[in-house]
């Protein structure tokens, strides 16, 4: 299809390196990690050792000072390799991004070098049992007490939560009843007294990803842990980062869809029905052609969104469109691919069956697709 123009030769060299890492050190361990419900802590250390974490962090804070596209290459190769147990992007691009862009100098120097080496794992805690997409309605509250905050509340569906050493926690700090002006982000150490972690949640897909509930019971943190050092900035900080966060779903969805299609092309070429390969039948060929075309179209839109993000021009409308449309394409593609695999497509020993289970969450996390449609509808 159309050649991509985003990446330099250096990015493509890195693509080969990171693909080898996933193929040799991650994908072969997927089944074991899915049984455990998380990756081992050693994988984080290994990724840090190889320089794959927080690559965009400036060298003075322990990173490589690499451009954003290196992180995007990592996301693409993770998705294409179906290495769904890892969640490096939450750690590096999301949590690392909050600390790098909004943290005080002390916060940056304390956390970013540790995150770059894998010594500290990062997590973002926004969603609560009562809801996730409506950020202004969060109930977890931080109340001032001397030089500290006392925090009470619960967060759910928190990626990297079990291994987390630093949590970017969304809380209510104000009482103006104006919603967004009452929200702040606080950095919470993973071993702080008053914080307890539930067991990894059992999910229908993404089973190897570390996903937990977090409970805050009169947890005391110093006010110096307030991200950026100023109250009431949390909603603004979240909104500034959310467009790219939602784009990461589209970036990975289009590559995961392409991977599913490649699996299915190989299977239908080799699988015989009435003495002929499945792919030789017109219905199968047309289905494969439709999926190939739609994936190519999605890639063009996603690449344009990436370009806008690099220019700091990506709008909430564009990222919401990419997030909902490409994630739904991903789900449609894996459904068609399961069908073309026949009964074997329903067996978990086949990668396409696991892809079917993993795909479903993409329409929910980082904003349910119904909310994404609402964001787009507001621009009509």
Known catalytic residues are 245
What total number of domains does the chain contain?
3
At 8 the pLDDT is 97
What local confidence, expressed as pLDDT, does residue 136 receive?
A: 76
Same domain, 262 and 330: yes
Q: What pLDDT shows up at residue 223? A: 97
Interval 215-256: pLDDT, tens: 999 999 999 999 999 999 999 999 999 999 999 999 999 999
On whether residue 1 sits in a domain, the answer given is no
Sign of the alpha-carbon torsion through 16, 21, 22, 28: positive
CATH of the domain at 215: 2.40.110.10
Claim to verify: residue 228 and residue 241 sit in the same structural domain: no
Among 179, 208, 232, the domain boundary falls at 232
Q: What is the CATH number of the domain that holds 250?
A: 1.20.140.10
Q: Are residues 163 and 184 in the same domain?
A: yes
Residues 296, 343, single domain; the answer is yes
Residues 195, 169: Cα–Cα separation, whole Å = 12
Let me know whether 50 and 139 are in one domain.
no
Q: Which structural domain, as residue segments, surrounds residue 288?
A: 236-377
SS (H, E, C) the chain: CCCCCCCCHHHHHHHHHHHHHHHHHHHHHHHHHHHHCCCCHHHHHHHHHCCCCCCCCCHHHCCCCCCHHHHHHHHHHHHHCCCCCCCHHHHHHHHHHHHHHHCCHHHHHHHHHHHHHCCCCEEEECCECCECCCHHHCCCEEEEECCEEEEEEEEEEEECCCCCCEEEEEEECCCCCCHHHHEEEEEEECCCCCEEECCCCCCCCCCCCCEEEEEEEEEEEEHHHEHHHCCCCHHHHHHHHHHHHHHHHHHHHHHHHHHHHHHHHHHHHHCEECCEEHHHCHHHHHHHHHHHHHHHHHHHHHHHHHHHHHCCCCCHHHHHHHHHHHHHHHHHHHHHHHHHHHHHHHCCCCHHHHHHHHHHHHHCCCCCHHHHHHHHHCCC
If asked whether residues 143 and 43 sit together in one domain, one would say no
**Domain end marker among 205, 232, 259:** 232
- Residue 310 located in a structural domain: yes
Residue 209 within any structural domain of the chain:
yes
pLDDT(133) > 90: no
Same-domain pairing of 241 and 373: yes
**Is residue 115 in a domain?**
yes
Q: What is the pLDDT of residue 263?
A: 97
Q: Are residues 146 and 192 in the same domain?
A: yes
Please report the pLDDT score of residue 351 as a whole number: 95
Could you tell me if 240 and 372 lie in one domain? yes
Q: Quick one: 49 and 135 in the same domain?
A: no
In a domain, 2, yes or no: no
- CATH number reported for the structural domain that contains residue 30 in this entry: 1.10.540.10
**Looking at 73, 95, 121, which one is the last position of a domain?**
121
pLDDT band of residue 134 (cuts 50, 70, 90) is confident
On whether both 326 and 246 belong to a single domain, the answer is yes
140 in a structural domain: yes
């Amino acid at each position: 299809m159309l050649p991509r123009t985003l990446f330099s030769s250096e990015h493509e060299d890195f693509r080969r390196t990171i693909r080898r890492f996933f193929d040799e050190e991650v994908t072969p361990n997927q089944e074991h990690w899915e049984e455990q419900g998380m990756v081992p802590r050693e994988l984080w250390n290994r990724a840090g050792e190889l320089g794959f974490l927080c690559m965009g962090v400036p060298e003075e804070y322990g990173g490589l000072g690499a451009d954003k596209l290196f992180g995007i290459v990592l996301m693409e190769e993770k998705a294409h390799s179906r290495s769904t147990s890892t969640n490096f992007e939450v750690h590096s691009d999301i949590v690392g991004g909050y600390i790098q862009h909004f943290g005080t100098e002390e916060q940056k120097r304390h956390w970013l070098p540790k995150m770059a080496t894998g010594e500290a794992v990062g997590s973002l805690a926004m969603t609560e049992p009562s809801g996730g997409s409506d950020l202004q309605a969060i109930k977890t509250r931080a109340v001032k007490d001397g030089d500290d905050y006392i925090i009470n509340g619960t967060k759910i569906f928190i990626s990297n939560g079990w291994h987390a050493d630093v949590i970017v926690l969304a809380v209510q700090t104000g009482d103006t009843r104006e919603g967004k002006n009452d929200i702040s982000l606080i950095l919470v150490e993973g071993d702080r007294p008053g914080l307890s972690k539930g067991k990894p949640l059992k999910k229908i897909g993404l089973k190897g990803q570390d996903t937990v509930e977090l409970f805050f019971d009169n947890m005391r943190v110093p006010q110096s842990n307030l991200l950026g050092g100023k109250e009431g900035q949390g909603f603004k900080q979240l909104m500034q980062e959310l467009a790219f966060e939602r784009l990461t779903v589209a970036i990975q969805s289009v590559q995961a869809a392409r991977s599913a299609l490649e699996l299915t092309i190989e299977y239908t070429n080799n699988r015989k029905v009435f003495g002929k390969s499945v792919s030789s039948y017109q219905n199968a060929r047309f289905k494969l052609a439709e999926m190939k075309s739609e994936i190519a179209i999605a890639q063009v839109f996603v690449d344009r969104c990436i370009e806008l993000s690099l220019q700091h021009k990506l709008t909430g409308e564009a990222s919401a469109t990419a997030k909902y449309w490409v994630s739904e394409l991903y789900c449609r593609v894996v459904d068609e691919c399961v069908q073309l695999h026949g009964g074997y497509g329903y067996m978990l020993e086949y990668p396409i069956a696991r892809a079917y289970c993993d795909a479903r969450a993409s329409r929910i996390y980082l904003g349910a697709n119904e909310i994404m449609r609402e964001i787009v509808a507001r621009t009509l």
